[in-house]
Amino acid sequence: MSVEIVPGSGSSMSSGSSGTARVESSTGVPDEAYEVDAIYEPDPELVAAVEGFDDRFLDRELSWLRFNQRVLELAEDESQPLLERARFLAIFTSNLDEFFMVRVAGLKRRIAAGLAVRAASGLMPREVLEQIWTTTRELSSRQAGLFRDQIVPALLDHDIELVRWDDLDRDEQKACKRLFRDRIFPVLTPLAVDPAHPFPYISGLSLNLAVVIRDPQSDKEHFARVKVPQTFDRFIPLSAAAGAGKGARFVPLEDVIGAHLKRLFPGMEVLEAHTFRVTRNEDLEVEEDDAENLLAALEKELLRRRFGPPVRLEVEESISDAVLELLVSELDISEEEVFRLPGPLDLRGLHGIADLSREELKYPAFVPTTHHRLAEVESSAPVDVFKAARRHDVLLHHPYDSFATSVQRFIEQAAADPHVLAIKQTLYRTSGDSPIIDALIDAADAGKQVLVIVEIKARFDEQANIRWARKLEQAGCHVVYGIVGLKTHCKLALVVRDEGESGSGGGIRRYTHIGTGNYNSKTARMYEDLGLITTDEAIGEDVAHLFNNLSGWSRNASYEHLLVAPDSVRSGLVEQIHAEIAHHAAGRPSGVRLKANSVVDEAIIDALYLASQEGVKVELLVRGICALRPGVPGLSENITVRSILGRFLEHSRIAWFTGGGEPTAWIGSADMMHRNLDRRVEVLVRLPHPDSIASVGAMLDTAFDDDTRAWVLGSDGSWTSNDGSVHLQESLIEGQRRRRTSS
């Protein structure tokens, strides 16, 4: 039996939406022995009881900062391999940069525009900003202290030295002098500030030297800025052995430049030199309704982004008050936005250190394997993905299952197969040298119909997406930029194949891939994602309708096996949560499990609160932001929230419902956030086969096991590590190895 939810029209708990649970057999025929019509209509008094908790939502911005704190805690964890700890410090830096560029910039913009409305958490934007400044200052100082007091000494113990200029011996300084003269000096451009030279524009996230010089003839002091070029390694290797990682010594690039400033200002006295770094508002604003050509409008906006207002100034703690005052004045930045930190600034460069060939200081080597349904059998030729998919659905779990031998092979074989008539695909982010792009171009060259829905507004990948969108157009692909006002974030691929006479089991067949992650062969090795390859006719029909909606004028919003935002993801999930309440009230097994990057949407959270109040067990696995408060008496005693971070970025989205004993599972691209549910085209697909549902269930069982290491969210918004002995990702890697050994 299976429980099917018949979607209604409600979009939130308080709107009076209802869920109808129709119990059917696996063949779709009603089971007379267990036929129920379980309709749950929320009691207005219970709804009011939930909404009576004014502080039931945690602040999303502060919750994100706690997520990045968990990343920092991974860097602090001495059980992690040393170079991986260094990498987590770099990731922490990149995360915080993006937070300021987008979230803090957005808060400041709303305040400046007079749109400072109270958030769902009850906080005003100014209150959130003040807490952000306090928290990020503490976290940044904690990161700098960890780097200086633990990571640098630990690296030294393994013959990897990160030193400053004064620590170099004479031979090393001579080598750096030659490097500066031959390679660095020709690239540098000192910019003076005087009546004839206005204060220069400081690009976002660039590292700079603020230099004070004096003219010995006039005795006048001047200010100059020197940008540290990004074309060189952030940490300069000092020995020939550095490439192998043994006995390697590194010095920051800005130290080498700072030691040779006299070459840039001949005849002048260099009095001071301090590093600083500016973060700017880099969120895009494109008014699509007013843009006849979205591509051209976006390209123009990308140019404007470079000149966004500053939102943070980082300076080395040794900076003089006079130089800092000048920077603050010229950049028009407030004192709260100034971060004085121990050097070196910008620890993103630690990625280069983490990439050293010191395998004993990294996670054990991991090689994804081909999914067992797609694995070669007594042949060196790749498995025919179409034949395998006709035999059985293929549920992929990346990076444990290879992306290259599954999804990539699926598209490549479709491009080369003379029986394939058409390929339709959405692309949100992909690598610049993507095999997927090449395969789509090959398909168009072969005369196949190729439709590509490109999201050129994918944040921080806009420029790259514009380039390969034009490349696809030039190859003859039909390129569409989605629906005005919505980002196309869903992960879909549809292959239409002519398999001969329909009477002999052939005819036109659709092969569908629906995933939780991007069609990016590089990130697929680091991101944890799920994907389904299926020939299920109903799913193929739904996906075909959706592509028509995206490329044409159709607005059919009715789908049998998909939940599609902005039309039905929120209402569909709320209704299924309500159906679990009905199951629980009838004495049948019930429960809700959600896995997502973020859980913020108030309507879904309120539905989960109501389920908890009615006795339904609710378990959330959230990588990043969670605005739900678990464990609040009278509200959420039956809700637990966990977070798992590790070597792979947990990225899949799953909605699991116990369904009276016949569970259903949905996977897709949507997080539980307003932007995903209201302003994006997102897709969740109901897994059609019991084996796939069981596989997802087994993974969730391990994730929610008390012995699995995770952070647990408290009702006050704090996260605490449970120090479990089982590491989810390591256990999945081990399971993959066992399958490979036994095959």
Residue 205 region by backbone torsions, left for phi larger than 0, else alpha for psi between -120 and 50, else beta: left
Q: Are 438 and 408 a contacting pair, CB within 8 Å?
A: no
Q: Say how far apart CA 325 and CA 315 lie, in whole Å.
A: 12
pLDDT computed for residue 149 by the predictor: 96
**Complete DSSP assignment for 271-320:** EEEEEEEEEE-------GGG-S-HHHHHHHHHHHHTTPPEEEEEEETT--
In the predicted structure, residue 284 carries a pLDDT above the cut 60: no
Among left, alpha and beta (phi > 0; psi -120 to 50; other), residue 267 is left
Question: Which of 37-41, 187-191, 465-469 is the least confident region?
Answer: 37-41
Lowest mean pLDDT among 256-270, 490-504, 621-635: 490-504
Compare 449 and 106 and report the one with higher pLDDT: 449
How confident is the model over 173-188, as pLDDT tens digits?
Answer: 999 999 999 999 999 9
Per-residue pLDDT at 551: 86
Task: Give 237's strand partners.
Answer: 250
Reported as a pLDDT band with limits 50, 70 and 90, residue 380 is: low
User: What pLDDT, on the 0 to 100 scale, is given for residue 556?
Assistant: 64
Contact assessment for residue 250 and residue 237, using Cβ atoms and an 8 Å cutoff: yes
Give the pLDDT score at 377: 63
**pLDDT of amino acid 589:** 97
Between 2 and 113, name the one with better pLDDT.
113
Q: Determine contact, residues 606/50, Cβ cutoff 8 Å.
A: yes
Express each pLDDT in 645-704 by its tens digit. Answer: 999 999 999 999 999 999 999 999 999 999 999 999 999 999 999 999 999 999 999 999
* Predicted confidence (pLDDT) per residue in 126-140, tens digit: 999 999 999 999 999
What is the per-residue pLDDT for 20? 40
- Tens digits of per-residue pLDDT, 48-71? 888 888 899 999 999 999 999 999
Identify any residues that bridge with 37 across adjacent strands, giving them in sequence order.
Answer: 22
Residue 200 confidence (pLDDT):
85
- CA-angle at 637, arms to 633 and 643, nearest 5°: 125
**Residue 16 contacts by C-beta under 8 Å, 6 or more apart in sequence?**
10, 41, 42
- For the whole prediction, is pTM greater than 0.85? yes
The residue annotated as part of the active site, out of 489, 513, 561, 651, is 489
State yes or no: pLDDT of 490 exceeds 70: yes
pLDDT, tens digit, 9 for 90 and up, residues 600-615: 999 999 999 999 999 9
What dihedral do alpha carbons 593, 595, 598, 600 form, nearest 10°? Answer: -20
Cβ count near 326 (within 10 Å): 16
489 counts as catalytic:
yes
| Mean pLDDT, range 372-399, rounded to an integer | 87
Quick one: pLDDT at residue 27? Answer: 33
Q: What is the identity of the amino acid at 616?
A: V
Whether 290 shows a pLDDT value over 90: the answer reads: no
Q: How far apart are CA 653 and CA 676, in angstroms?
A: 12
Q: Which two tokens stand for residue 498?
A: 């002519």
What six digits make up the tokens of 630? 């678990």
pLDDT computed for residue 384 by the predictor: 93
More confident residue, 35 or 516: 516
Burial class (CB in 10 A: 0-12, 13-18, 19+), 54: exposed
Average pLDDT over residues 576-592: 95
Confidence of residue 35 (pLDDT cuts 50, 70, 90): very low
The residue ranking higher by pLDDT, 308 or 625, is 625
